[in-house]
């Protein structure tokens, strides 16, 4: 399956001043598959080492971190030479071997000619001499590409020229509803393509979720397990409220912010949840105006959010105005995930001070512009929140994304992955 990150991997390969690369991402998001496919397509030779599957590999790094010695030992280990110009070396589950992780900085300074990519789900150490990329669960473009690659590539080249989106709007709307059910975990997507069975994908999503909870204490103390599970499972319920602000006391009545902050920080660091802080003033620089005690939480994948919340597929498929808050939560999660992929952690939200206040779901900085984003699950040609925000702050650009496709100033939800290109035309 095509992953957008492969374009960054190609850039890394062609960089004459490349450093060892770490590709991180939540478990089951497709890191290993992507790198193996990248190696097959762009290298003559691939050396794949999985530290979680073969504990004896750690012995090769325990006594000496000299890169040339490691390369020699790895060559002997596999029985053939490693060539710097044509061999891709993949260290999978490198977080299971601290010495192998440390060796990356030695490779960077002493033997930068080797092409090394390390894979991990959680990077606790701070390494200064390596590059890092994050693989997210599949976005809607990748989901579309997996089912109709010709249409996906065509829209990528000409989505905002003429009536291309309108021409395929019915098909795209149906696929976008499927995406809200399935989400972007590659195994789930592949199963959906093969079976179109909601029961089957529900089972796979449940297994992935169980695996996540089982791994909570791999990188955190066992004493934190209950709090990690409580926050993780509270996200869907709090997103389904009209006011989606996360409230610690609603996780468990006897717990307060100080009891849960360490667990929350851990879930954010692992990439399993996204934290979107409130900004009082949408001005540059945005981080200086963030209120870190008022925030919303989203899950890393909309399919896992739906499954955790036990939302039936029939709710997503329903085209009436029923289940407004639930549908809105799913849409916001998709938009948040896409903004995180495009703009990193600097994504915020804004709301007015008065009761019944207007709220702009997301705000981000693009160059010198502060851009508000309002996301609606159904059709919406204008919103009160965006109007109030515009009157107050006079933004140069605004984004309203909904299922509408007949106005140039509305970005259809199924084209939100192409936000940057759309903004260039505004």
Angle CA(290)–CA(288)–CA(263) in degrees, nearest 5?
45
**Nearest Cα to 49, choosing from 106, 88, 102, 98?**
88
The 3-state DSSP class for residue 220 equals coil
Which residue in this structure is represented by tokens 């290993």? 32
Lowest pLDDT segment from 38-47, 162-171, 277-286, 291-300: 162-171
With respect to residue 161, please indicate whether it lies within any of the assigned structural domains: yes
Please state, in angstroms and rounded to a whole number, the distance separating the CA atoms of residues 183 and 11: 28
272/147 same-domain check: yes
Residues 6+ apart with CB under 8 A from 236: 299, 305, 308, 309, 329
The verdict on 116 and 214 lying in the same domain is no
Domain co-membership, 97 together with 25: yes
Average pLDDT for 314-318:
90
Each residue's pLDDT tens digit, 91-131: 999 988 999 999 999 999 999 999 999 999 988 778 899 99
Assigned domain for 1 exists: no
314 and 180 fall within a common domain? yes
Residue 28 covered by a domain:
yes
Helix axes 169-182, 186-195, angle to 10 degrees: 120
**Is there a single domain that holds both residue 214 and residue 104?**
no
Q: Note the pLDDT tens digit of each residue in 400-411.
A: 999 988 777 899
Q: How many domains, the chain?
A: 2
Verify that 110 and 195 share a domain, yes or no: no
Domain shared by 48 and 155, yes or no: no
Mean of pLDDT values over 44-50 = 97
Tell me the per-residue pLDDT of 283-313, one tens digit each, with 9 for 90 and over: 999 999 999 999 999 999 999 999 999 999 9
pLDDT tens, residue by residue, 182-198: 999 999 999 999 999 99
Task: Read off the pLDDT band of 175 (50, 70, 90).
Answer: very high
* Segment 203-222, tens digit of pLDDT: 999 999 999 998 887 778 88
Among the candidates 89, 113, 134, a domain finishes at: 134
The β-bridge relationship of strands 115-120 and 347-351 is unpaired
Residue-number span of the structural domain to which 114 is assigned: 6-134
**Structure token digits, residue 156:** 């990528």
Q: What's the whole-number mean pLDDT along residues 310-324?
A: 86
- Pick the last residue of a domain from 134, 168, 187: 134
Above pLDDT 70, what percent of the chain? Answer: 98
Q: Say yes or no: 84 and 219 in one domain.
A: no
Same domain for 110 and 213, yes or no, is no
pLDDT for res 259 = 87
* 23/39 Cα distance (integer angstroms): 14
Question: Which tokens in the block code for residue 392?
Answer: 């107050």
Tokens matching residue 94: 């490198």
250, 254, 256, 259 alpha-carbon torsion, rounded to 10°: -120
Whether 149 and 92 share a structural domain: no
CATH number at residue 77: 3.40.50.300
- Find out whether 365 and 286 touch, Cβ atoms under 8 Å: yes
**What's the pLDDT tens digit per position in 3-21?**
999 999 999 999 999 999 9
State the greatest distance between any 2 C-alpha atoms of the chain, in Å, as a whole number: 70
- Specify the residue for token string 């799913």: 330
**Exposure string (b/e) for 105-123, b if CB count within 10 Å is 16 or more?**
bbbbeebbebbbbbbbbbb
What per-residue confidence (pLDDT) applies to 159?
A: 66
pTM over 0.85: yes
Note whether 113 and 147 are same-domain residues: no
Looking at 79, 100, 134, the residue that finishes a domain is 134
Are 37 and 147 contained in the same domain? no
């Amino acid at each position: 399956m095509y992953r957008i990150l492969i374009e960054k991997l190609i850039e890394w390969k062609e960089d004459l001043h490349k450093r060892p690369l770490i590709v991180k991402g939540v478990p089951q998001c497709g890191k290993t598959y992507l790198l193996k496919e990248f190696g097959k397509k762009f290298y003559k030779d691939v050396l794949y080492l999985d530290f979680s599957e073969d504990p004896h590999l750690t012995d090769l790094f325990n006594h000496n971190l000299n890169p040339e010695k490691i390369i020699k030992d790895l060559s002997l280990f596999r029985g053939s030479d490693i060539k710097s110009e044509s061999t891709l070396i993949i260290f999978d589950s490198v977080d299971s071997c601290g010495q192998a992780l440390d060796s990356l900085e030695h490779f960077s300074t002493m033997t930068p000619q080797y092409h090394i990519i390390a894979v991990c789900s959680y990077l606790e150490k701070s390494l200064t001499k390596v590059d890092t990329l994050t693989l997210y669960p599949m976005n809607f473009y990748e989901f579309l590409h997996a089912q109709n690659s010709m249409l996906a590539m065509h829209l990528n080249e000409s989505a905002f020229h003429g009536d291309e989106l309108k021409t395929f709007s019915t098909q795209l709307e149906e696929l976008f509803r499927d995406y809200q059910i399935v989400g972007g975990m590659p195994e789930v997507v592949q199963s959906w393509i093969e079976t179109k069975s909601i029961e089957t994908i529900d089972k796979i999503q449940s297994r992935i979720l169980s695996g996540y909870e089982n791994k909570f204490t791999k990188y955190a103390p066992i004493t934190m397990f209950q709090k990690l599970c409580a926050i993780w499972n509270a996200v869907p319920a709090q997103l389904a409220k009209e006011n989606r602000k996360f409230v610690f006391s609603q996780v468990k009545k006897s717990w307060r912010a100080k009891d849960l902050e360490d667990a929350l920080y851990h879930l954010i660091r692992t990439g399993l949840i996204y934290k979107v802080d409130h900004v009082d003033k949408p001005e540059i620089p945005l981080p200086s105006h963030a209120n870190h005690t008022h925030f919303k939480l989203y899950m890393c994948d909309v399919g896992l959010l739906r499954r955790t919340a036990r939302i039936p597929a029939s709710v997503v498929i329903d085209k009436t105005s029923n289940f407004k808050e639930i549908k809105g939560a799913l849409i916001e999660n998709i938009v948040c995930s896409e903004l995180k992929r495009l703009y990193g952690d600097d994504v915020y939200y804004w709301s007015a001070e008065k009761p019944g206040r207007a709220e702009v779901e997301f705000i981000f900085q693009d160059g010198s512009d502060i851009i508000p984003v309002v996301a609606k699950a159904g059709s919406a040609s204008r919103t009160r929140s965006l109007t109030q925000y515009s009157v107050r702050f006079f933004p140069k650009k605004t984004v309203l994304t909904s299922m509408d496709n007949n106005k140039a100033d509305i970005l259809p939800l199924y084209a939100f992955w192409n936000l940057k290109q759309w903004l260039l035309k505004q």
